[in-house]
Amino acid sequence: MLEALKQAVWAANMELPRRSLVVYTWGNVSGIDREKGLVVIKPSGVEYEELTPQKLVVLDLDGHIVEGELNPSSDTKTHLELYKAFPALGGIVHTHSPYAAAWAQAGEDIPCYGTTHADYFYGPVPCTRGLTREELDEDYEKNTGRVIVETFRARGIDPVHVPAVICRGHGPFAWGKTAAEAVYHAAVLEEVAKMALLTRQVKRDAEPAPAHLVEKHFSRKHGPNAYYGQK
């Protein structure tokens, strides 16, 4: 079942250690077949060296296991909430990459200080509020997804234009049209988080990039008249 999607999600998961986005088992990637309403995700706690496409878990959007003998990622409910809220998402990744996690632990958005950030994220990458004790006790992972959705809707952020978030005190989630693109955005997120931290170290009160520069760099890659790259 979903063999092509399993292969794609497995390859995306294997990219995480290659890109130094995870150590040990600190991350997971999922992908969704929108027509079938089924999600493929990494099993919980399985070492990347032992991961195969056959070990991935297939679930429906209500979290029922359709195929697979292992427990799905402990972050599965977060992925499912995002897929249900944001129909444009085709793949999601969660890591604890250190620079993005540092901003999450500080409880601050990652500011857009320059063009590298603006090429991929149309403005700052938002940091969610922290979960309440009640939300954590009720259903930690599901409510993590709900707080991400709450953050984007309350701020009027398009998740296609800002394909990542950092969860306060926790770490980053990123997404894209595919599992591979989600990992690509996670890698870019880690780089811009590092650049933002270095910028703060150089100048504590550095100003974010002006809106017209952000607009130019984002639109030349993603706008209706985009001209970056080859046709």
Per-domain residue ranges for the chain? 3-222
Task: Give 94's strand partners.
Answer: 28, 173
Q: Cβ(166)–Cβ(100) under 8 Å? A: yes
Euclidean distance between CA atoms 89 and 165, whole angstroms? 14
**Catalytic residue check, 227:** no
- The residue among 100, 79, 95, 93 whose CA lies nearest residue 149 is 79
Q: What's the gap between Cα 131 and its chain centre? A: 18
Residues of the chain with confidence (pLDDT) below 70: none
Could you count the other beta carbons within 10 Å of the beta carbon of residue 33?
Answer: 15
Q: What is the pLDDT of residue 212?
A: 96
**Angstrom distances, CA of residue 176 to CA of 29, 159, 197:** 11, 9, 24
Ranges assigned E (strand) in the chain: 27-33, 38-41, 57-60, 65-67, 91-95, 164-167, 171-176
67 three-class SS: strand
CATH superfamily of 3-222: Class II aldolase/adducin N-terminal domain (3.40.225.10)
33, 48, 119, 140: the active-site residue: 119
Looking at the whole model, is its pTM more than 0.85? yes
Query: How big is the CA angle at 109 (ends 104 and 115), to the nearest 5 degrees?
Result: 120
24, 60, 137, 228: the active-site residue: 228
Q: What is the pLDDT of residue 43?
A: 98
